[in-house]
Amino acid sequence: MTPIAVTIAGSDSSGGAGIQADLKTFAALGVYGASVIAALTAQNTKGVTAIHDVPADFIAAQIDAVFSDLDVAAVKIGMLSRAVAIRTVAAALEGHKARNIVLDPVMVATSGDRLLAEDAIVALRNELIPKALVLTPNLPEAAALLGASVARNEREMEVQARELLALGARNVLIKGGHGDGVESVDLLIGEGDVIRLSARRIATRNTHGTGCTLSSAIAAGLAKGLDLAAAAHDAKAYVTTAIAATDQLTVGHGSGPLHHFFAQWSDE
């Protein structure tokens, strides 16, 4: 059986984040990728200059087309900039009994550009978070969802992750990439013990699409039949290596993309 995952997110015209990063990640990890485009962005490594939202009924039509034909084993949800899009996606996934939902609450691009309207945060909390197998916020996103200050250490990260669990997510992977120190630490928290995922922090400005890539790598692992802990572990390793290899690429003049195909292009 061919493992299939679908990404529901925004398109990045520069190819480093969003739908494009997700499909590259699926392909690199041996998963067939389908896509539902929820928004178009005029974007490059320096920032986002425009966003064009896809009408809600067309988002629903894409989801219906994919799920009525493909055996989708995992879903990655990224940028949904409007409340109506969030409600539409939640209802469609419920109707199709979607499984293994990985929700990356994309609010701000790596460049600092805001991607989620204020009124959409409530819809995200109420409509989609309770449907997620795992929620994958970075430190600023976790703080925004909770109306709190950004966590400063692992203890505060754990506290915020447990507050997010109370919103209905079954598991939370709170990402420490925006933190300080020689380690980049993520915490996976659900019903059992806290799982600490750590990697050496890599000094590079080329981190465009990191969050998209991690969440889609988790979805890829789930689509292949891994449990969440194993999928998160493998995703962390993949993203870390993709960041370490990113300086092999020369793309743009701002925050460049990860090297999603470091293994496939290794001979070069």
* Residue 201: per-residue pLDDT: 80
Measure the CA angle with vertex 37, ends 128 and 90; round to 5°: 20
Is 209 known to be catalytic?
yes
Per residue, what are the HEC states of 11-70? EECCCCCHHHHHHHHHHHCCCEEEEEEEEEEEEECCEEEEEEECCHHHHHHHHHHHHCCC
Is 212 known to be catalytic?
yes
81-110 residues labelled b (16+ CB within 10 A) or e (exposed): bbbbbbbbbbebbeeeebebbbbbbbbbbb
The residue from 25, 175, 190, 246 that is catalytic is 175
C-alpha closest to that of 24 among 251, 217, 267, 223 = 217
Supply the DSSP string of 227-252, one letter for each residue. -HHHHHHHHHHHHHHHHHTGGG----
The model's pTM is: 0.94
The residue from 41, 45, 88, 210 that is catalytic is 210
What is the average pLDDT across 152-172? 93
C-alpha closest to that of 121 among 145, 143, 97 = 145
Is 204 known to be catalytic?
no
- Chain segment 236-263, per-residue pLDDT in tens: 999 999 998 888 888 988 888 889 998 8
For residue 179, the 8-state DSSP code is S
Q: At residue 75, does pLDDT exceed 90?
A: yes
Q: How far apart are CA 203 and CA 226, in angstroms?
A: 31
**Residues found in the chain:** 268
Confidence of residue 181 (pLDDT cuts 50, 70, 90): low
The residue from 207, 213, 240, 246 that is catalytic is 207
Q: How far apart are CA 203 and CA 68, in angstroms?
A: 44
Confidence of residue 206 (pLDDT cuts 50, 70, 90): confident
The residue from 211, 213, 246, 256 that is catalytic is 211
Confidence of residue 198 (pLDDT cuts 50, 70, 90): confident
**H or E element, residue 77:** strand 74-77
The residue from 88, 212, 221, 246 that is catalytic is 212
Residue 184: count of CB within 10 angstroms of its CB? 22
Partner residues linked to 187 by β-bridges: 174, 196
Q: At residue 121, does pLDDT exceed 80?
A: yes
C-alpha closest to that of 8 among 106, 142, 127 = 106
Q: At residue 179, does pLDDT exceed 60?
A: no
The residue from 10, 15, 18, 209 that is catalytic is 209
Q: At residue 267, does pLDDT exceed 60?
A: no
Residue 51: count of CB within 10 angstroms of its CB? 18
Q: Does domain 4-248 have CATH number 3.40.1190.20?
A: yes
* Residue 202: per-residue pLDDT: 83
Q: How far apart are CA 44 and CA 113, in angstroms?
A: 12
**Look-up of token digits 């400005």:** 205
Is 207 known to be catalytic?
yes
